[in-house]
Structure 1
Amino acid sequence: MTEAVAAVVARMEALLAPLEAAGDPARCFLGTYLRTTRAVGVALARGRFEDPEWVAAWDVDFAGLYLDALEISRHSPDAVAAPWRRAFGADPGLRPEAHVLLGMNAHINYDLPQSLLAVIPPDDFASPSLLDRRRRDHERIDDVLAARIGEEDVALQGAGGRRTPLDRLLAPVNRRASRTFLRESRRKVWANTSALHAARMQGEAAYAVRLADLEAASAERVADLLRPGPVLVRLALHGFGVTV
């Protein structure tokens, strides 16, 4: 694990402790994200990426968007973007899985294209070979996430996730569904990053409009995430990502 990623992990741990002590539902997504960031650190150390230095810088930037939003929301709930307002303001009585999905929606659908844009400067978009390297490393994160699905399911049960007999029956299906919708959302994230880059090249006003479109689409996604029924299967069939 690089020093920068280790610092992010330490920041997450410091933020998680009081949330767990208070039983704050924000602990659900932060706990999942902390374990995932540790796993990314291990993957970096094992040479799983083509450009580990770039992946580490991206991982730090990406995590910072969420952690900053989390800290700001504690004292100024209306100061964060709409997808995060929906996630942080969700009914505390929702199942832990729902809180995780709301966090994933805000962080993947809204934050991730912005973070990729921050670590892929305009000149890099002009190099097809370099851009392909970035895309491949972006997709390799799916392997890290897929390896975490079973353990995260167990962790969420420990956080108070209620399992009905139907939940237990659907567990293998849900795990396959999670892998499917994560791949789908990552493809859409890459497309949205390209759209944001095109807007960036047109100027600040064009970029602000396209980013507002992404914020609105991500916030609207919440309604489907909270709709009754087998949400993971539904996401695998109809998609988790958004498109601008």
Structure 2
Amino acid sequence: MLSLRAINQFYGSQHTLWNVDLDLPQGLCTGVVGLPGMGKTTLMNCITGALPVESGTIVWHEAGASPCNLLSMVAEQRSRLGIGYVPQDRRIFSQLTVEENLHIAMRATGMTDATAKFEVYDLFPLLYTLRKTRANGLLPDDQYQLALANALITRPRVLILDEPMHGAGHSYAQKLGQLLVRLSREWGMTVLLAEQQLSFIRRFADRFCMLYCGRNVAQGHVNALDDGLIAHWMSRDARR
């Protein structure tokens, strides 16, 4: 679905991503892991178009169509192509109701099919109960569900989540993990998430990509994300 090759990115004179290669196969969940400050969020923002890429390619592959380099598209065009994004800060409209948030998300991509809203309510039945509630009146976990619903109502082909477990409780972790499995296996959705909770990645992801100082130092099937690899690259003292 997506192939990244030799991605380099800079913040001013600071080189933040170094020749990152990554494949995101259709219908699989890939977890990007690494200590804070290693480039996980930067990588997400490069894919969505929120940050410019200095060099490299991000190619969108779709059956029956020619490959397309996303670097020629702005963020809005990538969203319309089928990339959904839930950032760490959620970016919901706090003064609007759940239902109003969903309507805005649909209109932003030009959607008019009302059945998409009912599909989302099927995924998040609690949001249907709370559909007339303002977003700022929701519990934190429910606000994240709304952010997810805003992204999913556009029926993206690729769903990108930045630190979805940040501040989440154990019970919500189970619900989120089961949702990601359902999206990938039943909907055929490609999922990419940046996450520091390795137990979550090991349980629910199919593949992993490990970043260290902006470099992709390991990737593959999630079973290869073993204790030795983690100790080598994710201990603050291991690489000194």
Higher relative contact order (CA 8 A, sep 6+): 2
- Bigger share in strand: 2
TM-score range, shorter chain: under 0.3
TM-score by length of 2: 0.26
TM-score by length of 1: 0.26
